[in-house]
Amino acid sequence: MILFQYKAKAEDQKLPWQVQEAVYKAQQAIIKKDYISAEKILKKFIEKHKKSHYLIEFTLGNLLFQTDRKREALYHYKESTNLYPDYSDAWQNMGTTYFDLKQYEKAGNCFLRAYEINEKRHKNKPDVLYYAAISYIMAKKEKKALPYLQQLVSGKLGPPKTEWLQALLKVYIDLKLEERAFNIAYTLIDKEGDNPRWWKILAQLYLQKGDYENAVAAFTIYSYLTPLNQEETMLLADLYYTIGLPLVAAKYYERAVTFKGDRPSYYEKLASAYIAAHRPDKAKDALNRALNIKPTSQLWFMMAQILYEREKFKEAYEALRKSTKLNPKKAEAWLLMGYCALHMDKKDLAREALKKASKFPKQKKMAKELLKQIISREKR
């Protein structure tokens, strides 16, 4: 974004020969990377003349910028614009310097001034307007950036570039202008339909809206255009599960668990998807795989539920025993353990499990009723 060369403008006064000579000598020294000599030439000119010249200050600013003395460069760019307020190159370089110093709003103001000067001269420099907008975005002044980005994508300054549309999309999202964000996302897809990034953003927009079916559609296209990482694979699986397609969800959960890293929660979701899809054998297989990797209380509890549904009460009881050993506060496991023991006609085991279950608020009522039934049976 830095402009190092200068060109005399048509409306400029003729450059004094002393200025031309000093700038030429300084630039020759800069080409040779003799920055010390170049600086001496320019500063000598300033010392000798009561009033400096905008081009001397501009060239010195560029030299200081090149040698990473950006705060000093700012001073000389400002001097250049003080001497010649309509010198757009100095405003643009000042903007770049402020940007590098992370003073983004000031950078935006300088870029905007450079653009406006060029606009008055009927010079079309939309990239400078884009730099202004980006600076305002970086300064978290999205509302200030908005009209300039809208101007850029209007088509009046030429065909909208992808980066202009992308910046406007970000601003619309940040400002929660949902429908406008959708319009830009679809514009980007029309422009670059094979770019996975736009499909992912579209999916995220639909997610924020709570439109899971369209989110799934957009994210599925994204998955066709680029390999999914584990987190993305899980998200797509979750979406399919949410819209009531557990078997499709299971396919993506299966992919997710093949990535490195022991994630018991992923196996829990995989098993849940198979259960919802009425595939208990596959659910059991998934749980066995998970338990071999890293047993958890929840995994054992889910295994017990499958076994209980199949009326394998002894095996279910054993799974629940392991679940409660790993997490003694697993209230629902204690209650189900009581049911298993009753089916096995093991009243002592049932009583023990139900007493534990009765200590938890949600299970208290049911556990006490079952305990009463046990006592009632024993009295007969």
Q: What is the pLDDT of residues 98-152, one digit of tens each?
A: 999 999 999 999 999 999 999 998 788 999 999 999 999 999 999 999 999 999 9
**Does 168 score more than 80 pLDDT?**
yes
Same topology, domains 1-133 and 140-226? Answer is yes
- The pLDDT tens digits for 181-215 are 999 999 999 999 999 999 999 999 999 999 999 99
Cβ atoms 196, 218 nearer than 8 A: no
Banded model confidence at residue 4, pLDDT cuts 50, 70, 90: low
Range from 73-77, 166-170, 376-380 carrying the lowest mean pLDDT: 376-380
Query: Would you state the pLDDT for residue 11?
Result: 41
- Dmax over CA atoms of the chain, in Å, equals 121
Query: Would you state the pLDDT for residue 5?
Result: 54
Q: What is the CATH number of domain 140-226?
A: 1.25.40.10
Query: Would you state the pLDDT for residue 18?
Result: 87
**Does 7 score more than 60 pLDDT?**
no
In the DSSP assignment, the letter for residue 194 is T
In the DSSP assignment, the letter for residue 15 is P
**% of the chain surpassing 70 pLDDT:** 96
Please indicate whether residue 68 or residue 380 has the higher confidence score (pLDDT).
Answer: 68
Query: Would you state the pLDDT for residue 111?
Result: 98
Give 170's contacts (C-beta < 8 A, 6+ positions apart): 137
- The end-to-end CA distance of the chain, in Å, is 93
Q: At what angle do helices 104-120 and 88-100 cross, to 10 degrees?
A: 160
Banded model confidence at residue 341, pLDDT cuts 50, 70, 90: very high
CA 55 to CA 1: how far, in whole Å?
A: 18
Name residue, tokens 């305002």: 136
Task: Give one DSSP letter per residue of 335-379, joined into a string.
Answer: HHHHHHHHHTT-HHHHHHHHHHHTTSHHHHHHHHHHHHHHHHHHH
Nearest one of 99, 103, 56 to 80, comparing CA atoms: 56
Name residue, tokens 């006592």: 375
CA 253 to CA 137: how far, in whole Å?
A: 38
Q: What is the CATH number of domain 1-133?
A: 1.25.40.10
Q: What is the CATH number of domain 318-380?
A: 1.25.40.10
Q: Map out the domains of the chain as residue ranges.
A: 1-133, 140-226, 318-380
Cβ atoms 192, 198 nearer than 8 A: yes
Mean pLDDT of 318-337: 96
- The pLDDT tens digits for 228-266 are 999 999 999 999 999 999 999 999 999 999 987 768 889
Nearest one of 181, 115, 107, 110 to 148, comparing CA atoms: 115
Average pLDDT in the chain: 93
Banded model confidence at residue 303, pLDDT cuts 50, 70, 90: very high
Angle at 307 between CA 304 and CA 310, to 5 degrees: 150
Please state, as a whole number, how many other Cβ atoms lie within 10 Å of the Cβ of residue 53: 21
Mean pLDDT of 89-104: 97
CA 268 to CA 138: how far, in whole Å?
A: 41
**% of the chain surpassing 90 pLDDT:** 82
Range from 20-24, 165-169, 190-194 carrying the lowest mean pLDDT: 20-24
Q: Which amino acid is at 45?
A: F
**Does 10 score more than 70 pLDDT?**
no
